Amino acid sequence: MSQARPQDAPRETPLGVPTPARERRAERIVLLAFGLTALSGLALLVLYALGGQTQLEGILLAICLGGLGVGIVVWAQELMSGELRIEPRHRLGGGRAASEAVADALTDEAGFSRRRVLQLGLVGALSGLAAALVVPVLSLGPAPGKSLFRTPWTKGAKVVGFDGVAVKASDIPPDGVVTVFPEGFAGNAEAQTVLINAGADRLQLQGQAAQWAPDGFVAYSKVCTHAGCPVGLYRASQGALICPCHQSTFDVMIGAVPTFGPAARPLPQLPIQLEADGTFTALGDFPEPVGPSFWNMNIGPIQIGGGDESGASQPPATAEPGP
């Protein structure tokens, strides 16, 4: 130890050659900092016993940790040697000889290296094992199958609100908006629909879409066709549904066609009819998939691996109401 540290030269810290006065001052600072740590630690205990208080606890913990930090850093910077040391840097690796030696060691057993057929067999066996071990990963989720293509809405389903109670036309004032679900599925993620009293005079729907909007009431999927957020804002003056996540904007009056933002596909319209008692029923499911687009949405479900669907567990959220 003494060989490595010559005693003849004046000691030098990272902050210069210290004077005795400066050393004493540094020592006092370190002790003061450590003292603060001990005191605030005790204070923290007392505060905890008294029932605690988040802000005070944070301050005391910060002082506790900060005291240690300051003390240790001052100690290192003011009272320890700041001598610069030089360590040689050797070239990494042992050169050609070393890599040849490794290659030799790997292959010098003829019983291993010359048995090409057995090596291939081993690789084949391990691949088979890997495949067998990976396949259970498929159990992690059911094959999507048709689940992305349909929602719990069915022909004749009663239109209800969050509370499961049937929504009446008289409950929705002009420009009013209600989030609705098929009866029995209140709160359901895929079935969520906005029912808007847009007014027959303002709606400009064509053909079938117009018949699906009785008395100026029109219903669109509430799942944004961009990234799936609920389209939760309605700017009545412009008849615009807006998604607060990415600001996709849909014109309710012309079939929820996107007019601004990243969404490119209209919100699917739910076919509804107004019953004699003022409630609504669905005429069927949405005519197209709701929510964000996916590559095969116009082609239909793609089956990978055939029978996955039957073997996989059914998640609660995709429970189907039946045909």
CA distances from 58 to 28, 32, 46, 62, 287 (A): 26, 20, 14, 6, 56
Q: Tell me whether residue 64 or residue 203 sits nearer to other proteins (CB atom).
A: 64
Pairing of β 249-251 and β 257-260: antiparallel
Shortest Å, Cβ 194 to other proteins? 10
Contacts of residue 241, defined as CB under 8 A and 6 or more positions apart, other chains included, come to: 194, 196, 220, 231, 233, 234, 235, 249, 250, 252, 256, 267
Q: Tell me whether residue 54 or residue 206 sits nearer to other proteins (CB atom).
A: 54
Shortest Å, Cβ 175 to other proteins? 19
Q: Tell me whether residue 179 or residue 273 sits nearer to other proteins (CB atom).
A: 179
AA letter at 104: D
Q: Tell me whether residue 230 or residue 321 sits nearer to other proteins (CB atom).
A: 230
Shortest Å, Cβ 85 to other proteins? 5
Shortest Å, Cβ 12 to other proteins? 7
Kindly state the helix (H) or strand (E) to which residue 59 belongs, with its residue range. Answer: helix 54-79
Q: Is 242 helix (H, G, I), strand (E, B) or coil?
A: strand
Kindly state the helix (H) or strand (E) to which residue 71 belongs, with its residue range. Answer: helix 54-79
Pairing of β 272-274 and β 159-160: unpaired
Q: Tell me whether residue 148 or residue 213 sits nearer to other proteins (CB atom).
A: 148
Shortest Å, Cβ 101 to other proteins? 10
